[in-house]
Structure 1
Amino acid sequence: MKINQFFILFLVIVCWQEAASQHISTNEYSALRGIPQIIHYNRNDFHADPQFWSVCEGQDGVLYFGNNDGAIIFDGEQWQKVSLPNNSSIRCLAADKSGNIYAGGFNEFGLIKRDLTGQYFYSSIKDSLKFTDPKLENLWQVHILDNLIVYRSFSKLITIAGKKITKLPAGSNFIRSFVIDGQYYVQDQFEGIYKLNKEKLKLELVISSEKLYGEEIIAAFPAEKTKTWLGIGITGKVLEINLETKTSTVLRELFDPHQINRVECALEAKEGTYYVGTISSGIITLNKKGDILNDVDTYNDLQDQSVLNLFQTNQGNIWALLNNGLDCITANSPVRTIFEGASLYDVHIKKNEVYLATNQGVFYSEDVSKVPPKFSKVKGLEGQGWSLQEYEGDILAAHDKGLFEIKKNRITQISNITGVWKVIPIHEKEGYYLVATYGGLFLLSKSADKWMVHNKIEGFDESTRDILESKSPGTYWVCHGYKGVFRIKINDNYTKLISLEHFTTQNGFAFPYSINVFEWNNEIVFTSNQGIYQYKADDNQFIPYKPLNSVLDSTKNTRTLFQHLDKSWFVQDDEAGFFYNSDHTIEKGYFLQFKGAFNRGMECIIPLDSQKVLLGTKTGLYLFDLTYKNSHQQSNTLITSVSYKSDQTDQYLPISPESRIQLPYNTASFSIKFAAPEMQNDADIQYAYKLENIDKKWSSWQLDAHKEYAHLRPGKYTFKVKSRSLLGTVGNTSSLNFEIMPLWYQTKWMMLVYVILGTSLILITIRLVKRKINKENAKTRAEAARDKKLLELELEQLRLQAEKDKINKDKVLLEEDVLYKSKELANYTMMLVKKKDIFSEIRDDILELRRYVKNEISKKKIQNMYKKLNQHAIGEEYMHVFETNFEQVHHDFFTSLKTHYPDLSQRELRLCAFIKMNLTNKEISPLLNISVRGVETARYRLRKKMDLEHDANLTEYLESIDYEKA
């Protein structure tokens, strides 16, 4: 069972910072404490004299400081200054339960008030009380006891109860006053401490001055014993004052006898600690018994060691009023500073010792109980220290220079390897470890109290900072920031690799960059910029891991992930946080102030238990208390000022959440200031706002405590603002209703007039439109009839045009047919001419044959043949038919030709027709009954009559005459 638990514990070690967290036990860190952070304010912030005397807090968390220039008011964001009528300094301030702020200065006392616009002013109450005293001088303190206000000057007390004012003179000088258990006490310099009888308004001596060793008591607090005070004297004496015996005892001296110093103020904090402000040593803290809790230099970060007054706010922070400035000690903050001045990578606590691995080297403190621990640099380990682990009772430091064993502030180098990230145990080889370096892995073991590096694991030379052992013996996952994921398997002797797999984008990852490997809920998971993945061996693929992707934002890179007790810790895109393993509720508000402060890829988050965690950042090491009580308390978000710019002048408006502010139409810009006084110095305060009817969603969180709008349209608006601190405190939502008034012609009455005029205009328009419509309808009907008639005419024209086109088409066809027929007629005629010639030749042959035949019968037979030929001889009738039909077919051509050449004969006209038909001279000669030579002669004469050039084409010319005819 124990072996299984150890195995699970080992698998949780996902990187060097997680390994470091295992080294710390409850006993080892219980004494670890840090100091609160201090926020400085100087005259560049509050723009007034830097010497402060008094302070009080209003019910809304606004702080009022008494200053040489008057009252300096701070709401957490803006500073305002209020001066007294005589411009004297304000030495005392106090707030009552009704929210009134009482102030006192030189010969002046009254109230600091806030008008409806959020501006502060001073109102004297001397005149209303009819008080006059030319010897009043400075009023140094004011206390409020129920309905009684008591001012203290050196010479007298002034009590105010309603409209009644009373002066109580001092025996010598009233040097200090304080309230204990609701009773007012004042110290007379030479007589002792008096108690004020509030009913009789008389002073009653409590303890004489000589019983106080002549000490001026700066402050007195109830002690652990009944009827006993713990008094802090001006010289540093801590007195136990017994009210029954009216005696006092010096418990201790705060200052060295030779030290020139004195106490200026003291404060009892809510947690029971006493804060003592000195003139030259800053702040000293005491417990209930008056014992000093810290070294004198605990608060040496104060900007001035002369502390004139101390004050604790309702929130729990401590304000130090200095001779030169203001400091706020965030005593109520859950963050305590352990170490500052270097970038933290790892922490190890062993018994009462603390070791830090930083970018400047390894630091060591021998006493963790000191506040804060005093660190010194370990000699020889200067430079980059990466991690600290404890194995077999020894502390090993992984360093840029190599691997070292540390014992207190002494070191021993192990081997000569350099660039070591960390050391991890080998589960299957007890007593053996792997050294993860910049360029691969080495085998390490301890023998005879000496650590020894045996060999380098051959076959793998990549950086192994991010390495995790899988559940398979000898198998490790290694993630490289730029090259993806490696799975390596080492042989049994741990001398070399027997397998190496490299996964990039082919196995489920979108990109091979920024991938890390961790163990969560006994599962190995891989984080990336696109979410969290798990490896599936069956498919050899990395698939999204739903249990974590449903909790953490998969669009952000999870660079750190581990479990500790009831929480899972993570860092996503520079934001640290945790979620509870039971219900997965995420908490990041605690750590907003550390956003961007971690070392990317090497975040140092070391939970100490379920309530405390160490955070290592680029600036140092901080202890965070998760029990911070204000983390989920509501705080008020206040709208402190509303103004607008009109005609280049700022005009302030009354702030009224219930009513609606009205702004003139010529408002050029509208400015709203806000604050969260109850959160002040909790940490940086952020605001988000929304202007309804303009903004669809809340703005992003930002530090600016004001918002300005320019040239808003007339209308009603609601401005909403909310706040949060970087320690998780949440402010409520405040709202402001305002209205940009319209111009006179944009008012409601004018709108009514516009409606009436518009309605009338619409009715008139409707009537005119109807009349126009009727007129247009009539016109349209007439136009429609005309258009119909025109359409009919157009249709008729189209019909006629179609008929004409058909006639033309038929004409073309007929002309083509005529041309064809004319050619056919010519061919037929030529055939007949040829036949006639043949008949003539046959007849001549028969006549010649008859002369040679002697036989009568043959002669008779030849004679019959001759008769038959004469009976069927081809006459000249066909020529007549040809000429008649030819002239009819080419009538238009002949007409056009006669028009151009009226002196042409009938035979020449016929020759022109034959030439146009593309007949050859040989084909023309029988048609004209002339020889071929005669045709050539006729053509020559024809050219001459037509006056054609010798090289002119007669056929083309005749065709052109025919085209002219067409």
Structure 2
Amino acid sequence: MFFDVSSQSNSNTKFGVPLRVHFSSENYQGSIQNWEFDQSENGLLYVANNFGLLEFDGNKWKKYNIPDATKIRTVMIDSKGTIFVGGQNQIGYFWETGKGLQFKSLRKELDALNVEFSEVWKIFELDDEIFFNVEDKLLSYSNNQIKKIDSPGFLISSFLVKDRVFCQFYNEGIFEYKDGDFIALPQTNNIERLIAILPNKQGYYFLSEKGKVFEFKDSNLQFKIDLLQSDTVNEAIQLENGDYALGTQNNGLLIFNSDFSKKLHLTKNKGISDRTVKSIYEDNFNNLWVALNNGIDYIKLSLPFTLINEELGVEGTGYDAHFFDNSLYLGTNNGLFVANTADLFLNEDHFSLFPDSEGQVYKISQIEKELFLNHHEGAFKIDGHELKKIHDIGTWNLIKTSKPNVVLGGDYKGIKYFEKKNNSWVNTKDLPDLSESSRILVFENDTTLWMSHGYRGVYRIKFDKNMKYKNKIEHFDDRHGFPSNILITSYNLNGKMVFTSKSGIFNFNKDSLNFSSNQFFDNYLGKEHVSELVSGINNSVYYIQNQNFGVLNEKKYGDFDKKTKIFKHINKYISDDLQDISVVNNNSVFITAKDGFIKYDPQKNHHIEKKFSTIIRSVKVSKAEDSLLIAIPINKEKLKINNKQSVKIEFASPFYDGFEDLKYSYRLKPLDEKWSKWTDTNEKSYNHLPYGDYTFEVKAKNIYDLESKVSSFPFQVSTPWYANWYAKTGYFTLFLVFIILIPVLQRKKYKVENSIIKKEKEKEIRVKNEEIDKLYNEKLQTELNLKNDQLTSTTMQLIKNKEFIQGIQAKIITSIDKGGSVQELKRIISSIDKELSDEDYWAKFAYHFDQVHGNYLEKLSSMNIKLSPREIKLAAFLRMNMSSKEIAKLLNITHRGVELARYRLRKKLKLERKQNLVEYLIELDKNNTIP
């Protein structure tokens, strides 16, 4: 590390570590190793990674894989925006499809030329021709054709410098490739392997792998300097300001001035995250992207800030900084740290803890040519490399008085006098009438001292010209114009006393002994609390307000420019306890930080008015409601969706100078008239949009509160078929037809309504008739069931009577056989036979049977086929599904007689053999038809 505050040190060297952001492999989802960078015209960063091509837009990383390649070694974007890549066993290019990058391999073209290779190490463009440096040869690609360039030997490396192509061949030296030929450069055949050819004003510097620099000018080669003692150079580039940046294998990153004097050295735990640097790239913000052995560092080299913290050996929160006798002293809560600027410059050493200074340091005071340490343990004189204690009570500050060899000190218990006697400083007495802790002591003039207390206001103390106390202490608080008693601090700005308070900055009116608002600071800073205020060079004023750093620079007398935007980079680092700003000289302002210190260089210009853009990164549309989103091409054709689809638009701004603080605002025209509130969210979704044409607009705001150009994306929510122009024309035509046909339709409607009413009436009548028929049928069914029951009962009774009489008849016959009165018994039997043959029972049966079966017997009698009475009875009994046994009893015949009767009946009815007689008789009843 190098220091630039001393007049003895080189003004072009840097001190401290730049602000940086580290990206791990987990952040970008790739391999730990990266090989090369390039940046597209719209600002997107591309990185050759072992696992593929990385793309960074300032918000997200994206990885593109390459088929049949395990590692990508090089990436280059040509003048047309095509991204060429090369790696292990693969070579080709990416182009933008509208929804991402697509890869085209050139491997087949090389196979056709019988070109074999395993690695591609470099790609560059000259006059629309692309050159590929494979491991031993040079290839060119133009007009969609690739060819092998015949070379004078085994190719080691190639370089494009100021539109000239140089190649180094093993044992052959360095050649320039020009007009299709290789032209040897004199005196270069024995030069060691080159890593870079760097331009200078007169010619070129050849930088070897071992760090040796050779100057090539006017066809002469001359050794210039050895930059490294025992290390290897992996990469070297010339920066836009003319400096040279070197990446080494074991010693980190080195930056040299154009004459190769050292300017900055960063290595592991001292400014970068790894000691191995594989590649360096300066982006369009003049910051460095550094490919490490493990991850990527973004070094904010363009900013006028560096950090002095534990990486440089400074431990703890910063409290005060002081430059004295070619050394920088830094006080923290862990002690006093010191570094000699010459040692820093020559040995690249870091800070060391001053012996016996452990503990809380408050202030470093310089009294003439002597330096004092104000410490929690007391006050000490810094004498060479040791501390000499001059006071035992915790001391805030020692200040010089107008009287030689007399110093006032504020400690935990008040104000003390210190005098130098016999070349030693001693505490001679205490200031009477004041026992308050006295941290802030400021002389208004030689005889007036102001002491500020954290929560009790401010005190004015009067002395004579010999620093003798006049026994007068005046106390001022909220009764004298301050808004409250807390946070009051006194400052002497270029001979003028001002007092900060909880709300606003005040002046003291000596006549009224009251405080009133300072109009100058009210105009520039308002009423918010200012916690630190200090005069700078050229009448400037530095301040800290609400944890935000700023400076008022005088443009012309009485007119100041307020500068705050650039300091947004460091506000998050600033300490919030006993803040301090130390202005050392024109290019060194030290600000106490939560971790060490921040060094600000006011002389370093950093252009914040850089134009930038916002890019529509992707558009995703769902196929249907609640379905997954699918990326679609972003092209000139207007996107069309329906209102059931959702659309998600992602955007980003590749403004890397403070990309962590980018904000976005958007609107959807014509739906939104106003822009949305600023947000760090870089996507917006829309669902169920009404039909119509829309334009999505988005813009970004960077860390400097500057807005980007507006980017837009038009799309259309299409009208459905039933709402398009043709449908509307059809609707209008139908409307006209409807108007014309209204009278006809009304008449037709009247007829239809009358018809409906008539049908409803008819239906109502039909329903009622059906209900009546239903009730009548139910009544008939009931009567039929009753008659059927009566018929069954009568039949069964007849059967029983027959059985009974037949039983008696049998007994009488038996009695006759045994010798009874034959004549009498025969007379009884004859009477019984007469009873059995009596046809009265049949008349009753027939009556009931016809009631149930709709005059069935009468119809049988009237058939064309003549049936005997016995056959009609048989048909009736069969219709009732009686058994042959039951029929035999009723007809008073045998079972065989019943079968013969059935046979004769079948014959008369002319039934086929397969037809069932009973089923036939039942079917006659159902059909109510007698043939």
Partner of 2:808: none
**1:666 aligned to 628, 644, 652, which one?**
644
**2:28 aligned to 23, 46, 62, which one?**
46
Distance 1:83 1:60, change over 3 A: same
Partner of 1:305: 275
Question: 1:578: Cα distance to partner?
Answer: 0.9
**1:699 aligned to 660, 677, 683, which one?**
677
Distance 1:492 1:457, change over 3 A: farther
The 2-side partners of 1:577 and 1:29 are apart by 28
Aligned partner of 1:554: which letter? Answer: K
Aligned partner of 2:548: which letter? Answer: E
1:414 maps onto 2:390 in alignment: yes
Partner of 2:430: 456
**Deviation string for 1:418-469 (max 9, x for gaps)?**
2111112334x45432201122111123234222221111111112223333
**1:218 aligned to 195, 211, 221, which one?**
195
1:647-666 matched pairs, under 5 angstroms: 647-655=626-634, 664-666=642-644
Aligned partner of 2:563: which letter? Answer: E
Question: 1:178: Cα distance to partner?
Answer: 0.5
**Deviation string for 1:113-169 (max 9, x for gaps)?**
22323x223233567999654624332211111222111213432212324433124
Partner of 1:861: none
The 1-side partners of 2:341 and 2:648 are apart by 58
Question: 1:549: Cα distance to partner?
Answer: 0.8
1:943-962 matched pairs, under 5 angstroms: none
Native 8 Å contact 1:32 1:369 kept in 2: no
Native 8 Å contact 1:458 1:497 kept in 2: no
1:178 maps onto 2:151 in alignment: no
The 2-side partners of 1:436 and 1:178 are apart by 65
Partner of 2:372: 396
**2:132 aligned to 147, 151, 156, which one?**
151
**1:498 aligned to 441, 452, 471, which one?**
471
Distance 1:339 1:409, change over 3 A: farther
Deviates more, 1:234-243 or 1:340-349: 234-243
**Deviation string for 1:304-354 (max 9, x for gaps)?**
333333322233223332333222333323222344432221111124211
Aligned partner of 2:665: which letter? Answer: Y
**Deviation string for 1:839-866 (max 9, x for gaps)?**
xxxxxxxxxxxxxxxxxxxxxxxxxxxx
1:417-566 matched pairs, under 5 angstroms: 418-427=393-402, 429-470=403-444, 474-489=447-462, 498-520=471-493, 522-566=495-539
**Deviation string for 1:394-413 (max 9, x for gaps)?**
01111111111113321111
Partner of 2:779: none
1:616 maps onto 2:592 in alignment: yes
Partner of 1:347: 321
The 1-side partners of 2:115 and 2:620 are apart by 41
Partner of 1:633: 610
Partner of 2:120: 139
Partner of 2:105: 124
SS in 2 for 1:59: coil
The 2-side partners of 1:159 and 1:25 are apart by 52
Distance 1:754 1:654, change over 3 A: same
Q: What stretches of structure 1 of length at least 5 have no aligned partner?
A: 1-23, 764-966
**Deviation string for 1:3-53 (max 9, x for gaps)?**
xxxxxxxxxxxxxxxxxxxxx886689587314344322211111112222
Partner of 1:685: 661
Aligned partner of 1:109: which letter? Answer: I
1:921-960 matched pairs, under 5 angstroms: none
The 1-side partners of 2:272 and 2:65 are apart by 27
Question: 1:575: Cα distance to partner?
Answer: 0.1
Q: What is the TM-score normalised by the length of structure 1?
A: 0.67
The 1-side partners of 2:194 and 2:429 are apart by 73
Native 8 Å contact 1:475 1:489 kept in 2: yes
Aligned partner of 2:593: which letter? Answer: T
Question: 1:302: Cα distance to partner?
Answer: 3.7
Native 8 Å contact 2:444 2:495 kept in 1: no
The 1-side partners of 2:257 and 2:268 are apart by 15
Question: 1:107: Cα distance to partner?
Answer: 4.5
**1:359 aligned to 330, 333, 337, which one?**
333
**Deviation string for 1:804-842 (max 9, x for gaps)?**
xxxxxxxxxxxxxxxxxxxxxxxxxxxxxxxxxxxxxxx
Deviates more, 1:173-182 or 1:104-113: 104-113
The 2-side partners of 1:690 and 1:344 are apart by 42
The 2-side partners of 1:25 and 1:136 are apart by 54
Aligned-residue RMSD, C-alpha: 3.8
SS in 1 for 2:80: coil
Native 8 Å contact 1:457 1:494 kept in 2: no
Q: What is the TM-score normalised by the length of structure 2?
A: 0.69
Partner of 2:768: none
**Deviation string for 1:599-638 (max 9, x for gaps)?**
3353232334455422221112232233323233333333
Deviates more, 1:592-601 or 1:282-291: 282-291
Native 8 Å contact 1:328 1:681 kept in 2: no
1:324 maps onto 2:298 in alignment: no
1:375 maps onto 2:357 in alignment: no
Native 8 Å contact 1:659 1:737 kept in 2: no
Partner of 1:238: 213
Native 8 Å contact 1:110 1:123 kept in 2: yes
The 2-side partners of 1:544 and 1:697 are apart by 38
The 2-side partners of 1:26 and 1:402 are apart by 32
Partner of 1:735: 711
The 2-side partners of 1:735 and 1:431 are apart by 68
The 2-side partners of 1:223 and 1:30 are apart by 21
Deviates more, 1:333-342 or 1:174-183: 333-342
Partner of 2:874: none
The 2-side partners of 1:470 and 1:195 are apart by 71
The 2-side partners of 1:59 and 1:511 are apart by 56
Partner of 1:579: 552
The 2-side partners of 1:532 and 1:445 are apart by 35
The 1-side partners of 2:76 and 2:200 are apart by 25
Native 8 Å contact 1:206 1:243 kept in 2: no
**Deviation string for 1:369-399 (max 9, x for gaps)?**
7256621111121111111121121011111
SS in 2 for 1:380: coil
Distance 1:133 1:39, change over 3 A: farther
Question: 1:288: Cα distance to partner?
Answer: 4.6
SS in 2 for 1:634: coil
Distance 1:211 1:724, change over 3 A: same
1:722 maps onto 2:700 in alignment: yes
Distance 1:380 1:639, change over 3 A: same
% identical aligned pairs: 22
1:31-110 matched pairs, under 5 angstroms: 33-34=14-15, 35-110=17-92
Native 8 Å contact 2:614 2:651 kept in 1: no
**Deviation string for 1:170-227 (max 9, x for gaps)?**
5542120012331112222232222212x3x232333576432xx222222245654x
**Deviation string for 1:255-285 (max 9, x for gaps)?**
54xx5x5333222223333333333333344
Distance 1:499 1:660, change over 3 A: farther
What is the count of residue pairs matched by the alignment?
A: 716
Partner of 2:620: 643
Native 8 Å contact 2:267 2:274 kept in 1: no
Question: 1:696: Cα distance to partner?
Answer: 5.0
**Deviation string for 1:646-691 (max 9, x for gaps)?**
52412335557x9876554235573433122xx3255633224243
Native 8 Å contact 1:574 1:597 kept in 2: no
Distance 1:488 1:729, change over 3 A: same
1:165 maps onto 2:138 in alignment: no
Aligned partner of 2:609: which letter? Answer: H
Partner of 2:184: 205
SS in 2 for 1:509: coil
Native 8 Å contact 2:664 2:681 kept in 1: no
Distance 1:219 1:735, change over 3 A: closer
